């Protein structure tokens, strides 16, 4: 098993790299259940023991496939996280495929529900889809203006008044070990901290080689309060892995000329010091003590092998010194 680090104030030890199972829900491309099981076996064989999923991924499809793939392994040998905040209702319209990033997903419609009863139902539904009687880490999914726009204040109040209470009760009952929030913006995490006793936050794309907006005192505050950060989106939607090409994606949209130019400069520094950009992207977050684990979601064998090399690659301090100069411009 790969190196582990303790999650906040809990007794959970997370592997340095976690696997994000969004691809099991057909993110961007359709796969088979056989492919998802084979991919998980390869990920298991390289020592990863932390797996994350959400009802949103494929409208429940990813949870069902992850549960099936993990079923043959001892439940005490891995850490499992999923999310609350969306309830799935059967889609009765025949032949309807909702336009989103999950082709041929399960036939369910998503409804936001951060209330006490909504979180409790979401937890129970996820346990059934995953085939487990407990969740190690339960995350409140996608609160914030990034997702809810001008409805954020309303949804945030519901989440803090009701949803958090439900999550805290599940933790007190031992059905959940750790609770937190998973989203794409750190401002809402700062907003939630004074009202809650969360163990961790899963933050996507905000402390990377390309984007360090979360390094504004927020990460230091998390370290001070022993709130662990699980970092997702280390490639910023792909551009740090694909390189500074026209058509590359950054933050879920085509990258601007400014972003492409910045990635070009990062790649030049990598070439100068003979550092693999993928390795640099994977290792960068661990430079802050608040980061406990980095989520990766590669499923193809060559991508998995590239990521594994990136975890253990030796990167000289001179490289990081020059990167720091770039990222603070």
CB 295 within 8 A of CB 20: yes
Name, in order, each residue with C-beta under 8 angstroms of 3's C-beta and a sequence gap of 6 or more.
15, 16
Per-residue buried b or exposed e for 262-274, using 16+ beta carbons within 10 Å of the residue's own CB:
bbeebbebbeebe
Catalytic member of 57, 112, 114, 250: 57
What sign results for the dihedral spanned by CA atoms 319, 323, 324, 329? Answer: positive
Residue 243 CA to residue 124 CA, distance in Å, equals 41
CA 214, CA 207: separation in Å to the nearest integer? 6
Instruction: Please confirm, yes or no, whether 83 is among the known catalytic residues.
Output: yes
Annotated active-site residue 52? The verdict is yes
Task: Identify the helix (H) or strand (E) that includes residue 259.
Answer: helix 257-272
Kindly name the residue from 50, 52, 113, 250 that is annotated as catalytic.
Answer: 52
Residue 290's CB is within 10 A of a number of other CB atoms, namely 25
Q: State the residue for tokens 């009701």.
A: 162
Cα 198 to Cα 176: distance, rounded to the nearest angstrom: 12
How far apart CA 201 and CA 97 sit, in angstroms, is 32
- Considering only CA atoms, which of 97, 56, 43 is closest in space to residue 184? 56
Closest CA to 232 of 270, 277, 179, 282: 282
Contact 160, 196 (CB under 8 A): yes
- Cβ atoms of 102 and 58 within 8 Å: the answer is yes
Cβ-based burial of 122 (10 A; exposed 0-12, middle 13-18, buried ≥19): buried
Catalytic residue (one of 50, 83, 114, 262): 83
| Cα angle 53, 23, 115; round to 5 | 30
Task: Indicate which residues carry an active-site annotation.
Answer: 52, 57, 83
């Amino acid at each position: 098993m790969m190196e582990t680090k303790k999650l906040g104030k809990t007794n959970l030890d997370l592997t340095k790299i976690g696997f994000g199972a969004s691809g099991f829900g057909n993110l961007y491309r359709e796969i088979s259940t056989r492919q998802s099981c084979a991919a998980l076996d390869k990920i298991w064989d390289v020592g990863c023991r932390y797996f994350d999923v959400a009802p949103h991924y494929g409208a429940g499809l990813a949870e069902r496939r992850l549960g099936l793939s993990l079923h043959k392994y001892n439940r005490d040998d891995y850490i499992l996280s999923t999310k609350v905040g969306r309830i799935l209702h059967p889609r009765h319209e025949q032949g309807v495929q909702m336009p989103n990033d999950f082709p041929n997903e399960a036939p369910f419609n998503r409804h936001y529900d951060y209330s006490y009863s909504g979180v409790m139902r979401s937890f129970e539904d996820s346990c059934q889809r995953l085939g487990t009687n407990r969740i190690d880490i339960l995350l409140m999914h996608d609160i914030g203006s990034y997702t809810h726009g001008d409805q954020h204040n309303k949804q945030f109040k519901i989440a803090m008044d009701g949803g958090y209470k439900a999550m805290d009760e599940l933790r007190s009952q031992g059905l959940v070990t750790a609770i937190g929030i998973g989203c794409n913006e750190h401002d809402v995490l700062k907003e939630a901290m004074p009202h809650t006793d969360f163990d961790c936050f899963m933050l996507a794309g905000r402390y990377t080689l390309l984007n360090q907006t979360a390094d504004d005192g927020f990460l230091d505050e998390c370290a001070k309060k022993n709130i662990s950060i699980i970092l997702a989106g280390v490639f910023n939607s792909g551009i740090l892995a694909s390189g500074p090409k026209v058509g590359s994606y950054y933050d879920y949209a085509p990258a601007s000329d400014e972003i492409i130019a910045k990635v070009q400069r990062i790649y030049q520094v990598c070439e100068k010091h003979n550092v693999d950009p993928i390795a640099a992207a994977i290792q960068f977050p661990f430079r802050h003590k608040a980061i406990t684990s980095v989520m990766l979601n590669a499923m193809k064998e060559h991508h998995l092998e590239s990521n594994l090399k990136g975890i253990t690659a030796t990167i000289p301090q001179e490289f990081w010194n020059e990167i720091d100069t770039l990222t603070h411009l």
